[in-house]
Structure 1
Amino acid sequence: MMIALRLYLAYKLLNSIFLGVSLGTIFTIYAPLNPKIYSLGGIALALGAFILSLFYSKLLNLKPYKKILLGLEILPFFYLFAYLLFPNTFFGALIVYTLYQIGFIFGDYLGRTETLLLPRKTILSHLDKRKQIGYLLGLVIAFIFYTILEFFGILQKESQIYAIHFLLLLLQCAVFLTLFSAFRQTRTNKWNPKT
């Protein structure tokens, strides 16, 4: 099984742009939640990540990485739609928080697997550069987006967060399609770690 490296690098860039754009939304989305929920979520996150680590010997290779990563990139569609359908409600915030926590459970696993599967330090360097550039671009895009909304008189933060979710939806489509293409690509410039 192979991965098209250029597309994978593009995926990392787009994924980080998504993260940068979405960063400021969480504070408004989570507003209806009771602080105790964060404690419960943290406990679930720690337990979930611990249980996942028990299976690393089977999961730390390309085939499960591909399946898990593609599955995790479907999660944002669910929490984007959850917020768009139930904006500024306890139910919507709880769904978004729960789905984020599920994604976070796999954070250590994804980082470890990517590092183990990559054959060269230069590729890791390129990945980290893409992540940082994407994150900065995402923050700038969000700032410009909110500035434009304010220019048009949309000043309420809930309305701004709702509007930016449509941009996030478009970004997530690009993220998922780029990742899917990176795994499907079979031409030149491939990364073929041992499966």
Structure 2
Amino acid sequence: MQLFGGRKQDEALAKREEQVRKLETECRTLQTSLEDTRELVRHLDQDRELLLGALEHLRPGMDVQPQAQVLLDVCFKPLGLACFYVALADWDQDLLRFVLYHEGGRFRNHPSRRLSDRSGLSERVLAGRRPVYIRTLEEGRAAGSLLTAAEQATGLIPHSWYGVPLGRGSRPSGLVSFQSFQTDAFSEGRRRVMDALTGLLSICMDGPPTPQGR
């Protein structure tokens, strides 16, 4: 009888230990889920602040360069960017002009180039009339990425590159480029925010709507 009773106690103890292990696993799963939810909320709050900041400071009718500066100030640090630029396309003059180029912690005078040469990622965005996302350094090289003088001198080359056209139609008015040293740095959600920021800049570049007569 004692042997039988001891065996039942062992089985009951083993069952309780198994239940405890299951509860611990469930708790860890819930904790991970809670942390993921907190991180998602944090990113959503950051995205909201980015868009609200752009809405607050961008003004229709401003010159393009000051508006590009506003967008840089709003998004550079929160998005963890390594490089940011705004370029305008003059299709009649066959010219791509960089109105603001921030790289390596300072502004650069980036040279203009011919659109018809189609020599870089910017031209790929304009020709395709849609955003282009490059996730790795190797992917960028294969796609025709051009190294700047600073990148050639320092060896510090962004791995992630996201370019968004300004405006719609067969001839976009330019593009905005967001770049990071991290590989695959921009999630789909973050790219949507970049799309929205570029859209706001495009609207402001077009200026205030013209009143319509009756």
- Structure 1 length normalisation: TM-score? 0.26
Larger Rg: 2
Structure (1 or 2) with the greater helix fraction: 1
- Structure 2 length normalisation: TM-score? 0.24
Q: Which has the higher contact order (CA 8 A, sep 6+)?
A: 1
Structure (1 or 2) with the greater strand fraction: 2
